[in-house]
Amino acid sequence: MMSQQVAALTAEVNALDKETARRVARLVLECRASLELALLAVQDANSGLQARVEQPKARKRQAHILSWMQIR
């Protein structure tokens, strides 16, 4: 790995919040994943979680709009 890649990974790890850093470290230590793959896996999991959180909100808005349209 080139020194630029190491520096980029170091900066990315240092920017993580405590819980995310723990999840990444756990993947590296317990699953023997590379640091890059562990970071990607946690980022993917976080984005999937965010999408699941946002879906119910969007559905509620759609339902509200539809009910409002039916009233008119």
23-61 residue pLDDT tens: 999 999 998 888 888 898 888 888 875 555 556 666 666
- When pLDDT is cut at 50, 70 and 90, the band that residue 6 belongs to is confident
Under the banding of pLDDT at 50, 70 and 90, the label for residue 5 is confident
Report pLDDT for 58: 63
- Sequence-separated (6 or more) residues with CB below 8 Å from residue 62: none
pLDDT of residue 53: 57
Range of the domain at 44: 3-71
Predicted confidence at residue 48, as pLDDT, reads 73
Number of residues in the chain: 72
Exposed / middle / buried, residue 43 (Cβ in 10 Å: 0-12, 13-18, 19+): middle
Q: Calculate the alpha carbon distances from 66 to 16, 26, 58 in Å.
A: 40, 45, 12
Structural domain count of the chain: 1
